[in-house]
Amino acid sequence: MSLVIRGARVVVGDGTVLPRADVHMKDDRIVTVGAHTPVSSDTVIEAFGRVLMPGFIDAHTHALWAGNRLDEYEQVQRGVAYLDILEAGGGILATVRAVRDMSEARLAENLRRRLSVMLEGGTTTVEVKSGYGLTTEHELKMLRAIRRAAQEFAGTVIPTALLGHTLEAGRPGLVDEVIDETLPAVHAEFPGIAVDAFCEKGAWSLADCRRLFEKARSLGHVIRVHTDQFTRLGGLDLALELGAMSVDHLEASTLDDLKKLAHSRTFGVMLPATGFHTDRRYANGRAFLDAGGKLALASNCNPGSAPTSSIPFVVALAIRHLGITNQEAIQAVTSSAAELLGLTDRGRVAEGYRADLVVLRHSDERQLGYEFGGNPVDVVVAGGKVVA
């Protein structure tokens, strides 16, 4: 199995560009990237100067869910207050009920369809969180469904156990149950999986996050934290203290918070699709990068606050609302996102790297964020195979 893409503008993913180069792949690896040379190969694709870049790496999604929130969104548009919707059983708990009612096999099929849309949009590596189960049984069901869908996916799925997503009325023991029962069960079946929690008013408190994370760490799990979306509860400081791999959201972070984060080894993950869909609040990407921060951008794909899986659109939002450049945004969805996920074999178009890449319809990579709304990806290669 060998594949050559000829005559491309190669955007490496680390900030460098080769104005005209051929990319030669064998099996699932990139063999050479370089000057126009005659090669024989099973398959040859002519790029005609189009941009070739690493497949997108979407490092924060809730892409496994059941049901939808369309009725609820119509209520929001008619002016119904979000708290009233929550009290009527809507919001995240509506998705929790739908997930609990669905079998593992059907959940896997839901995810498989969404992964296929992502792949067409150029995303070859996707992080997918659990978190709509809220019980040991249903969290394990979600993680198993993610594993099942991942096995049929031409790209790569990285699962995350979002054990502290929200609370539930009538279950005062939920936090203890998650820490004492769900976490050990997840640990037994998915050792080493990242453990995540949403540190926010109405979701998990700082103290409960600390208990969850300290136990998770003692079991050898890495940690991610949803924090500072609406309220600065201290989740960022906790994350830094515990050496979390990332803190995600950061819309409510102060400049001092962003600087502190930038001076750590923890990644910041910004999710501008949520600002677009909900409240038009965006994290300050410019300040974070200027302070030297390690930034990943992700879709946050979920049925309530980010109904999208388009990384090109995330880039378009980032250059408009986060104050960052197209080139910075490209790194944040390729090499930096790979580093965040601990994947040293991808995120760059370079020899020895995994052959996950896309060819855009554009001949200038700045069009990726400049244009918006459609799918600019002409060709998708995952593991050395043309998959879209």
Evaluate whether 296 touches 332 at the Cβ level (below 8 Å): yes
Radius of gyration of the chain (CA): 21
Closest distance between a copy of itself and the C-beta of residue 323, in Å?
8
Evaluate whether 147 touches 140 at the Cβ level (below 8 Å): no
Vertex 378: Cα angle to 325 and 366 (nearest 5): 15
> What is the torsional sign of CA 242, 226, 181, 147?
negative
Q: Which residues contact 252 (CB under 8 A, 6 or more apart)?
A: 228, 229, 230, 231, 232, 281
Among residues 281 and 361, whose Cβ is nearest to a copy of itself? 361
Evaluate whether 162 touches 130 at the Cβ level (below 8 Å): yes
Among residues 134 and 316, whose Cβ is nearest to a copy of itself? 316
Among residues 217 and 361, whose Cβ is nearest to a copy of itself? 361
Name the phi and psi angles at 257, rounded to 5. Answer: -60, -50
Closest distance between a copy of itself and the C-beta of residue 231, in Å?
24
**Residue whose C-alpha is closest to residue 44's, from 381, 351, 334, 346:** 381
Interface ranges with a copy of itself (CB under 8 A)? 68, 70, 73-74, 77, 117, 120-121, 273, 276-277, 307-310, 312-314, 316, 319-320, 325, 361, 364, 366-367, 370-375
Give the strand order in the sheet containing 156-164: 56-58, 123-129, 156-164, 194-199, 223-227, 246-249, 267-270, 295-297
Closest distance between a copy of itself and the C-beta of residue 313, in Å?
3
Among residues 259 and 277, whose Cβ is nearest to a copy of itself? 277
Closest distance between a copy of itself and the C-beta of residue 377, in Å?
10
Among residues 342 and 374, whose Cβ is nearest to a copy of itself? 374
Closest distance between a copy of itself and the C-beta of residue 55, in Å?
15
Evaluate whether 253 touches 236 at the Cβ level (below 8 Å): yes
Among residues 67 and 234, whose Cβ is nearest to a copy of itself? 67
Among residues 1 and 70, whose Cβ is nearest to a copy of itself? 70
C-alpha distances in Å from residue 195, one per residue of 89, 227, 248: 27, 14, 13
Evaluate whether 359 touches 51 at the Cβ level (below 8 Å): yes
Closest distance between a copy of itself and the C-beta of residue 359, in Å?
15
Closest distance between a copy of itself and the C-beta of residue 49, in Å?
13
